[in-house]
Structure 1
Amino acid sequence: MTTDNNGGALTPLQALQERVQQQGNAVAFVQPLGGGEVREYTWKDIELEARKMAAYLQSQGMQQGDHIALVSKNCAEWIMADLAIWMAGGVSVPLYPTLVADTVRLIMEHSESKMLFVGKLDDWDMMKDGVPDGVKQIAFSLAPEQAKKDFPVWTDIIADTAPIEEIFTPKPADLATIVYTSGTTGMPKGVMHDFQALSTIGSKMIKVYDLQPNERMISYLPLSHVAERLAVEIAQLYVGNKVFFAESLETFGEDIKRAQPTVFFAVPRIWSKFYQKASEAVPPKKLNTLLKIPFLNKVIKKKVLGAMGLDECRIALSGAAALSPEIITWFKKLGLEILEVYGMTENLAWSHTTEVGDQMIGWVGTPNDGVECRIAENGEIMVRSLGNMKGYYKMPEKTAEDLTEDGWLHTGDKGEIDAKGRLKITGRVKEIFKTEKGKYVAPVPIENHIVTLPGLELACVIGEGMGQPVALLNLTPEEQGRLSSGSAKEHFTQELEKHLKHVNDQIDPHERMTTFIICKDAWTVENNMITPTLKLKRNVIEEHYAEGIKQWSKTKGVVWEA
């Protein structure tokens, strides 16, 4: 473990100093600027810009302990702003870059944020009215043009400001960040994490997969989410690896091939998209046949993984939700073992990890260093570690509900533990529903089976109080376009009917679905059907389609929403 002179783990700011001393001239960030142009930042560049921005924050009246918000898609200045806030003695409050104005206002006012960094955004107009009056704002270099006209711009500030001489030295119990949960229901909760948690987990996590300075990672999942922030920003400070930023969804294929990541973390929806795209090019049956041919085996594996930009990947991780066993098995045939990990905002994403060579499909590994795990009487997973939150900001009653006095966190997930200590997630305590026959159904594993069919984007299995469950489905944009002709739609309907039977054959009788319902509108963050981390908002989806389901569920097979 990297430690300070007193034997404790280095804080993120101390880790940055170590990086500058040991790797000052090494490239740490590769930032796309558009049009194929990129800018490289060394560790010295990062420290200098962060120190200058910290000095500017203080010049604008920021006091120690002030809360400073930032809203942006991933970019180099996001991480440097986070470091600058800490250097100046502040608490960082990240906002998802897809929030609507009402949610921006809710979080900004609840967190009492005094300033806001406005960065790389697709729709600033959708958000800006949510910024409370009196909040000072700073624009990143890649911010929308209007923001750069309205507010001081990062590059100008850096050019005109001398670096702070003495940076803030936090105590372990000092608050470092408030991370607002994306929330599948209700008001987002502000999860408080202190510097002790960041320091301890930062120094421990790099040892799990023996991360080295020559690793390459691509940052594309929201840095406002705790998993990306720990896996990219914090881990990098303790490892010294290189991080490439993605430019946009449209350029992601080029971005990942530029990065050639050796470590790659994705949520199931991303792995599913990789699988579906590859399956369209080389159907699984054909791939199996080709892989059996000795002289073609290695060539095919490298070609398929190379098309995804993953031919150099040595550690592939999946988290946030369960990944379909079919997809894990498919990648394993290509020589890429996807290791499932488990964590949540409330425990700084530090809970369970599948180690290389210990993969058991459907399980999320053993407890990380310093993590205790137990199963409560109702089947709920409970964990205790230094990664656990200090509590929810200004929500003492909710904190007492989720965090016991002796430090055990109620995860809200149900699970089981095997003899080796491996954990299996079997559902959510509140997501499991009961059919009218009194049988309980866990929807997530069924949904993971459903979305393995190419052309399907998302699935939501519902059935509370119904005779048998049904599944609401979203198609991929590509499939929506392809189905404009009647014959294509008829053929896909037949494929869906076969798939319905295939999935039903793999689950218990009380879980079997009568109907696949194809919804005409996409579920997006903007229409509040999914969270910024791409999780279903089940209550919103069920309420939206409640009337239609009464009719659609009377038909067995496949129903297309008119």
Structure 2
Amino acid sequence: MSSAQSVIGSDKIAGRPTSVAHLFLSRVEATPDGEAYRFPVPVDEHAADGAPGAEQWRSLTWGQTAVRVKNLAAGLMALGIGSEDRVAIASSTRVEWILADLANMCAGAATTTVYPSTNADETAFILANSESKAVFAENATQLAKVVAQREQLPALGQVILFDAPAEPPAAEGLEVVTLAELEERGAAYLKQHPDAVQQAVDALDREQLATLIYTSGTTGRPKGVRLVHDCWAYEGVAQQESGLLRAEDVQFMWLPLSHVFGKTLISGQIATGHVMAVDGRVDRIIHNLPVIRPTLMASAPRIFEKVYNGIAGRARAEGGAKYKIFLWAAKVARTYAQTTQANRIATGRDSAPLGLSLQHAIADKLVYAKIRAAFGGRLRGSVSGSAALAPEIGYFFLGAGVPILEGYGLTETSAGSTVNRAEDVRVGTVGMPLPGTEVRIAEDGEILLRGPGVMRGYHQLPEQTAEVLEPDGWFHTGDIGELGKDGYLRITDRKKDMFKTSGGKYVAPSEVEGKFKAICPFVSNILVIGNGRNYCTALISLDETVIMPWAAERSLGKKSYAEVVGSPEVRELVEGFVKKLNVELQRWQTIKKFTILPRDLDIEHGELTPSLKIKRPVVERTYADAVAEMYTGANEA
């Protein structure tokens, strides 16, 4: 294969175990009394110190975790689950998800991940295509999806419920047990076969299937990505060796574990042995941060955008001097971060002129310290992935002392391929390769990856596998990028998302969209359109939590969200930000017309993937009339 640039990174990483199951048992042996997981539990409403709706955090040590995992693994064996049998997990992020996944691996089985938001039809497709024999279901809602599609699932025999309803729905032909009952069966099984789990782990092979993760494609059925034990074992050791995760960390895990981004961080946590606080309720993130006080958190860019917009919105609502102070502090944060980053690259030292440093110190006391406190006060870094982060957002948080460590990877590469390090953040890049991963740029600019984390293929799809995976191991990502001389990777755009205008000019829509998100604090999502057209347009949705307080300060306070975003006042507001955007763009990139959508894009309408990526074809189809209207009768160059 030819390439435009030499290979960056190494294909070697020494000392990794055969599997995460091996890594887990080694961790348990090394630090049995160390804290492994924290998780919230409801407080008994009848307890003296409890109240309805109250909750408290509890912990599991590594030794306690091992007892539960081994009992669950043995319980699966008692159900007849064997080597490479698929066992699905359909649940939100909670500690039981991790226990179930580890139990699957320690029993020699393979996990099939299912988002809890997946509808019954697609859930059935994933379970049938993977030939899953059992499924861990979070609650009656997830069980009902399985029951509704029972005829399509001949291989499925058991459902294990995390939360058992008082009256489980009828499930003809399925054995339904609770998690506690499975643990009890496992404990009894181990009394008869005390070495069963250890023998199952010893029998694991590096190339044995560990996980099937189905990609949430923009069209057609999702594809099952085959990730073997070596993929996850590699990710665990690579994250540890890179310094991304440290033994002293307290990590807040709220990401969906059905997604590869969240799943890969479990491997790293086991390798380092640090504490992980687990709670997937997105509406509890802000509440949990000061309670957990994490040193590390992973997130999608959308969360940072919402945090920034929220801070800006509150400052604007307070008005007067406070808003002016925020605007000044935001500018200082970006300038300081850009200056120190440039000096670090040039000289190896973080430095800034005395005047800028003094301004930064003042802004820190007035603004940045409060931002850090909102994150718990100890955050040394927040890993960002799954979509592009607007550089202006990255510079703001870096200048405020909350460095966002943007990384890059795909489901097909077990997520972790490149990442920024806390000691040398390069905003606008996705960092350097993890140890053991190689990166190269093809002649057409496509990013190619090779390493132990790369999938072994798409499940039962050899032709589609051959389209993206070379015989020598290089994986075609479909992303366009550049490699700097220092080894930092920069993503330009999705190869399939880039388009050419009718005038022959290429446009990278994510670049334009990122710039707009940095300029407009009211935006939630934006989709730039222009393929084969003679100018670019945009579909824009606004963040309800930011635009409604703005509306309340004006004559729009009693109107609904749809009425507010459809008002002339909001149209004028957004138009001002579009004009600011266009000043920063090349002529052929500028947004000539835009439509404000009557509601935000969401997962429920199929417009966003569970990892919050926009499904461009779906959105364009949904709002085809609006798009057509923006081009009707126009002949602009």
Q: Which residue of 1 aligns with 2:458?
A: 392
Alignment of 1:114 onto 2:133: yes
* CA distance in 1 between partners of 2:571 and 2:377 (Å): 35
Q: Which of 360-369 and 84-93 deviates more?
A: 360-369
* CA distance in 2 between partners of 1:406 and 1:293 (Å): 50
Cα deviation, residue 492, structure 1: 3.1
Cα deviation, residue 430, structure 1: 0.8
Alignment of 1:435 onto 2:474: no
Summarize the Cα distance change of 1:297–1:19 in structure 2 as closer, same or farther, 3 Å threshold.
same
Summarize the Cα distance change of 1:293–1:114 in structure 2 as closer, same or farther, 3 Å threshold.
closer
Q: Which residue of 1 aligns with 2:364?
A: 297
Q: Which of 131-140 and 407-416 deviates more?
A: 131-140
Output the amino acid matched with 2:27.
Answer: R
* CA distance in 1 between partners of 2:500 and 2:164 (Å): 47
* CA distance in 1 between partners of 2:145 and 2:547 (Å): 27
Q: Which residue of 1 aligns with 2:25?
A: 17
Are the aligned partners of 1:139 and 1:147 in contact in 2 as well (CA < 8 Å)? no
Task: Could you tell me which runs of 5 or more consecutive residues in structure 1 were left unpaired when the two chains were aligned.
Answer: 1-5, 557-562
Cα deviation, residue 201, structure 1: 2.2
Are the aligned partners of 1:100 and 1:526 in contact in 2 as well (CA < 8 Å)? no
| Among candidates 146, 159, 163, match of residue 138 of structure 1 | 159
Larger relative contact order (Cα-Cα within 8 Å, sequence gap ≥ 6)? 2
Q: Which of 546-555 and 95-104 deviates more?
A: 546-555
Q: Which residue of 1 aligns with 2:178?
A: 153
| 1:261 aligned counterpart, secondary structure | coil
* CA distance in 2 between partners of 1:174 and 1:435 (Å): 46
Cα deviation, residue 388, structure 1: 0.9
Alignment of 1:517 onto 2:542: no
Q: Which of 105-114 and 121-130 deviates more?
A: 121-130
Output the amino acid matched with 1:263.
Answer: L
Q: Which of 328-337 and 98-107 deviates more?
A: 328-337
Q: Which residue of 1 aligns with 2:84?
A: 65
| 1:211 aligned counterpart, secondary structure | coil
- Give CA deviations for 1:71-130 in whole Å, capped at 9, x if unaligned: 100111111111111111111111111101111111111111111110168776566524
| Among candidates 347, 350, 365, match of residue 416 of structure 2 | 350
* CA distance in 1 between partners of 2:143 and 2:466 (Å): 36
Task: Could you tell me which runs of 5 or more consecutive residues in structure 2 were left unpaired when the two chains were aligned.
Answer: 1-13, 43-53, 317-322, 333-358, 558-563
| Among candidates 242, 245, 252, match of residue 278 of structure 2 | 245
Output the amino acid matched with 1:29.
Answer: Y
Summarize the Cα distance change of 1:391–1:301 in structure 2 as closer, same or farther, 3 Å threshold.
same
Summarize the Cα distance change of 1:60–1:553 in structure 2 as closer, same or farther, 3 Å threshold.
same
Are the aligned partners of 1:216 and 1:263 in contact in 2 as well (CA < 8 Å)? yes
Are the aligned partners of 2:89 and 2:114 in contact in 1 as well (CA < 8 Å)? yes
Alignment of 1:548 onto 2:615: no
* CA distance in 2 between partners of 1:385 and 1:374 (Å): 12
1:148-547 alignment, distance < 5 Å: 151-162=176-187, 163=190, 165-167=195-197, 168=200, 169=202, 170-209=204-243, 211-231=245-265, 233-246=266-279, 248-282=281-315, 285-287=324-326, 289=328, 292=359, 294=361, 297-298=364-365, 300-307=367-374, 309-452=375-518, 453-479=520-546, 481-482=548-549, 483=551, 486=556, 489-547=567-625
Are the aligned partners of 1:382 and 1:410 in contact in 2 as well (CA < 8 Å)? yes
* CA distance in 1 between partners of 2:526 and 2:141 (Å): 26
Summarize the Cα distance change of 1:480–1:520 in structure 2 as closer, same or farther, 3 Å threshold.
farther
Q: Which residue of 2 aligns with 1:82?
A: 101
Identity of aligned residues (%): 31
Output the amino acid matched with 1:138.
Answer: V
Q: Which of 407-416 and 6-15 deviates more?
A: 6-15
* CA distance in 1 between partners of 2:360 and 2:433 (Å): 40
Summarize the Cα distance change of 1:418–1:104 in structure 2 as closer, same or farther, 3 Å threshold.
same
* CA distance in 2 between partners of 1:121 and 1:438 (Å): 54
Q: TM-score, normalised by structure 2?
A: 0.81
Summarize the Cα distance change of 1:273–1:424 in structure 2 as closer, same or farther, 3 Å threshold.
same
Output the amino acid matched with 1:287.
Answer: F
Q: Which of 503-512 and 157-166 deviates more?
A: 157-166
| 1:158 aligned counterpart, secondary structure | helix
| 2:237 aligned counterpart, secondary structure | helix
Are the aligned partners of 1:362 and 1:424 in contact in 2 as well (CA < 8 Å)? yes
- Give CA deviations for 1:513-556 in whole Å, capped at 9, x if unaligned: 11221111332212111111100110111112112212134599
Asked which structure has the greater CA Rg, the reply is 2
| 1:419 aligned counterpart, secondary structure | coil
- Give CA deviations for 1:320-348 in whole Å, capped at 9, x if unaligned: 11111111121122122222111111111
Are the aligned partners of 1:57 and 1:88 in contact in 2 as well (CA < 8 Å)? yes
Q: Which residue of 2 aligns with 1:559?
A: none
1:25-64 alignment, distance < 5 Å: 25-34=33-42, 35-64=54-83
* CA distance in 2 between partners of 1:109 and 1:295 (Å): 60
